[in-house]
Structure 1
Amino acid sequence: MMRKNGARGGAAGPPNMHHVAELAGVSVATVSNVLNHPEKVAGSTRSKVEKAIEQLGFTLNQTARALRSGDARSIGLVVIDLTNSLFVDVARGAQEQAQSQAFTLQLASANNDLAVQDAHLSFFDSARVSGVILAPMQESDEQIARVRRHGRPVVVVNFDSKLTDSCRVLIDNERAGYIAAKHLIDLGRTRIAFVAAHDDYQPVHDRRRGVRAAVEEAGGAVTLIELDTVDLDPPGGADAGRRLAGMPEQERPDAVLAVTDLLAMAIINELTNAGISVPEDVAVMGCDHNSAAWGGAIPLSSVSMQGEEMGRAAVDLLLGELRDEHGGHVHRRVLLQPHLVVRESTIGRERVPV
C-alpha cells in the first residue's frame, strides 16, 4: 500500500514503473510514454506521473536500456574461496554462459573473509557492473541489500539467503550429506564418523543434517560419531586422522565421512601412515567433489556439486532480471540435485567400474 507521502511501506529495493503507475493512477504504458515519448501524453497526465516520480525517487533502469543498446556487458562474480574447485566450476559455467550472451565476467575470491567479500562487492558496485553473482558461505544480507539499493541485481549461489529480494541457485546440501552417508550404510558400515568444522557455514550445517537423517533412518543398526576439527583444510583433516588412528581398534569407526574432500584426503593419509587400510579397515569419503583432492594414491569417493550448472543458471537468472525494464521480474530459487561419485576409497580398487 502506498503512503500519502509516496513512500512504499515495507517495500524492499528501488521503486519501479509499477509503483509510479500505482501512485499516479495510470497504466505502466503511460509511465513508459512519459519517460520515452512525453509528446504522446496529455499535459495533466504527464504532470501526475512526473509528480509521482519525484515523490518516489524513481530512476529509470538504465542497465536494462544499456543491455538493449549493447553498452553494459559486465558481470561481477565473488566467490568465497577459489581453492575449492566447486567455485572454480561455478566460475567456469558462469563465464561460458556470460560469453554466449556477449558479456564479460570479472572474478574475485574472498579467501574465506567476509570483510574481503564486502570489499569486492563494493568495488564491483563502484565499477558499475551490470549485476553481481555472489557465492558466500555465511549470511551476507546487508552486503547484498546495499548493492541492490544501487540498482544492481544480485544472484546468490550455493547459499540459501534469508533475503527474499534476490534469485538463488542452490545445490541440495542436505541431500548431499544424506546420499553420502547412505552409500556407507549400504556398504554395511555400522560406525560412521562425520568429520566437519564451521557449522556456521550453511553448506556444512545442511550436510550434517543430511548425514544425521540417513543414520536415523537406519535405526539402531548404525552409530554416528561426530568429530569436529579446527578447519576445513588439510591440517584439520590431518588432526582428525591422527585422532581416529589413535582410537582402540574396537572403538574406531569403520567408515569416515568428511564434509569436504580436502579433509577426507588428509584423513586417508594419516590412516594409511598408521597402517590402517582404506577402505578395507575404514572406508573414507568426502562430500564436495573438490578436484584439488583427486591426486592421492587412493581415489576418493565423493558427491558431485553441479558447480558449472550453478554458474550457468546464475547468469541466466541475472540476465533475466537485468532485461526486465518494467518491474515484472519474479525472483526464483533454483535447487539442483547432487549425485554420488563412487571411487576406490569406499569400495576398493577391484569393484571400481572400468
Structure 2
Amino acid sequence: MFANNTEYLHNLVLFFLASYCQTRPKNTFALPVDRPVVGQTRALSPSLYNENNETLKWRKRMKKYHDTVTTGLKANSPSVGANPENFLRDQQMNPILNGRPLANTGPPITIYNSAFSLFLNNFSDENLEIPPDFLGWADKLILNATKINEYEEERNERMREILSEKLGTILLVEYKKKNRQKCKSDGVLTTSLDTLIAYLGILEGKNEIETDKNDPTIQEALYYRDYWSQDNLKKIRNCCCVPSFIITVAGPWFYILGGVFLNRAVVEPLTDFIPLAINLRAFDKKKQITRLFYSLYQALRLLNNFYRNLGVERSRPMYILIH
C-alpha cells in the first residue's frame, strides 16, 4: 500500500506516462519527468510568490483597518482616551498616525484630497484676494475670541455661532459607543449624500490653552476616528478616505489640522497655533487671520463638492495604507 493518497496519485500518473511512452505515436517525443519525492516541497515560481506575498500584505492591512474601526466603536470617549497615560497605551496597540511618537506618522494627507492642498496654497498666498465682508467678519471673530469666559461651553457656543456665519452651520452631533456611552465633539460641519451625512469639519474647543490636561489636538484626532468609524457611515468609508478638516479652538488660539481614514486614521497639522489676540491696527496680522478662515472656507466648499459627487456603491475599503 502507498504511504498516503498523494504518493498513490503520483505513482498512478507515472504509470500512465510510462505506458504512453512505450506506445506513443510516431512524430511525438517523450518528456522526462522526475519521480516526486514524498514530503518534498517545490519552490514557488517568482510570480506566484509575489502574488502570495501581496495577498498577505493586503490581509495585514485589512486587519489594521478593521482593528481601527473596532477601536473607534469600542474605545473610551475621546476625553478619556486623550489622557496621556491612556493615549500612550493605545498608540502601542492601534495607533492614530499623528506623529505621536514620530514613528506613528502617516503619508502626507494632501495626496488623498485636493481640498487640503487648496487650503495650504491659499493660506500661504499673501496676495490672495479676500472679499471685504470677510475682513469685517474677522473683526467680530477676533473681538469674541479674545474675551475671557468663566465657562467653557459659553465660549464654545459663541464660537459655533460666529464660525457658522461663514463656514456653514456647525451642529452638535452625538454618536454611540458599543457600551452605549454617548459622545460628541464641540461641533461638526456636515454635508448630505442622499440619506447619509459626511463630516466636512470637526471642532473642539477649550476655554483657555491650558485649562485641560488633555491635548485638544489629540482629543480631536480621536473624535475624527470615532465619528467616521460609525456603522451608518460604512458606505462612505468604503469608497473614499473620508477627508475632514479639524479645527481646534483654545482661548484666542486657532489650530487647523486635516484627517484621512486609511488602514489607520491619519491626522496631520496644517497650521501652527495662530493667536487672535492681536492689535487690530496691525493690518498684516489681521489679514493673516482673515486669510486663514477664507482659505478654510474655500477648502470646505471644495470638500463639500467632493462628497456631493461621491458614488457610494463600492463595497470594500479602497484606501488602505501600507504601514
Task: Please report the TM-score for the alignment, with normalisation by the length of structure 2.
Answer: 0.26
What TM-score does the superposition give when structure 1 sets the normalisation length? 0.24
Structure with larger Rg: 2
